[in-house]
Amino acid sequence: MLNNKVAIVTGASRGAGKAIAARLTTEGAKLAIIGSTEQIHESAKELIENGADVLSIQADVSNEQQVKAAFKQTLDHYGQVDLLVNNAGLGFFKPTEETTLDEWQHVFAVNVQGVFLCTKEILPFMKEKKTGTIITISSDVGRRTIANAAAYTSSKYAVQGFIGSVAQEVQKYGIRAGTINPGAIDTFFANSRQGESHKEDWLKVNDIAEAVCYMASAPKHMVVDEIMLHPLSQEYPRI
């Protein structure tokens, strides 16, 4: 379903973003992967060694000029973009009164402003082509709240609202937009390490990658608005 499609994946240096990129290449997609550090080029090298067609770009998704340059480079290189995966994000756990303004603004700059800038940048191209899919990796805390994560939770509520509005704006152009909302994932979130023993029963990064492929491969007449994923070991309030 994704053969010869071109996808942009942000935050693809490691963790879920790297797994998403690798999974998309197995479906035949060509990729532009974006990361904020030089590690993005090492991730691309691994994919290329496995036969993938990958362009790596070091850029900060919260910086408008860097986003514009990255998307222009992608379009100049491939001539098209069929799928955008907004994966870049960060978070931390800290009581509200201990959270600094710089920390609050940094979380919103990456998690919300980054999603806004990347989505805004690709929309004119997708509207012209009257096709395209935008998938944003959000979180289950975009649908509920938890203690000691006010900045992160607030940013994910903002992402849900933004993508919900975008989806309604672009439906008439044949463009689909949705979110994937995972619970606990074994990754590098909040400066932790992937593979720690207490995360043994958590979601794996490949679970997120599979969800992205499912959403991206949906029939053209169908949009998957939202996917919620949780490990069995996680307690989660259900309606």
pLDDT over 90 percentage in the chain? 85
pLDDT over 70 percentage in the chain? 98
Q: How many domains does the chain have?
A: 1
User: Which stretch of DSSP H or E encloses residue 85?
Assistant: strand 83-86
Range of the domain at 28: 6-229
d(CA 81, CA 175): 12
d(CA 187, CA 142): 19
Where residue 235 falls among pLDDT bands split at 50, 70, 90? confident
- In contact, 148 and 94? CB cutoff 8 Å: yes
- The DSSP secondary-structure symbol of 128 reads H
Residue 202 lies in a domain: yes
Where residue 107 falls among pLDDT bands split at 50, 70, 90? very high
Residue 236 lies in a domain: no
Give residue 79's pLDDT: 97
Residue 78 lies in a domain: yes
pLDDT at 180 over 70: yes
Catalytic residue among 152, 157, 173, 214: 152
Residue 238 lies in a domain: no
User: DSSP characters for 43-83?
Assistant: HHHHHHHTT--EEEEE--TT-HHHHHHHHHHHHHHHS---E
Choose between 75 and 202: higher pLDDT. 75
Residue 121 lies in a domain: yes
- Residue 130: which CATH number? 3.40.50.720
User: Hey, is 24 helix, strand or coil?
Assistant: helix
Give residue 238's pLDDT: 67
Residue 73 lies in a domain: yes
pLDDT at 232 over 80: yes
Residues 155, 123, 72: CA angle, nearest 5 degrees: 100
Where residue 35 falls among pLDDT bands split at 50, 70, 90? very high
pLDDT tens figures, 50-91? 999 999 999 999 999 999 999 999 999 999 999 999 999 999
Active-site residue flag, 152: yes
Residue 153 lies in a domain: yes
Give residue 192's pLDDT: 73
Give residue 200's pLDDT: 84
Where residue 204 falls among pLDDT bands split at 50, 70, 90? very high
Closest CA to 10 of 63, 50, 52, 60: 60
Burial 86-107 (b: 16+ CB within 10 A, else e): bbbbbbeebeeeebeeeebeeb
Residue 36 lies in a domain: yes
- Which of 148-157, 176-185, 206-215, 229-238 shows the lowest per-residue confidence on average (mean pLDDT)? 229-238
Alpha helices in the chain (DSSP H): 15-26, 39-49, 64-78, 101-108, 114-129, 150-170, 205-216
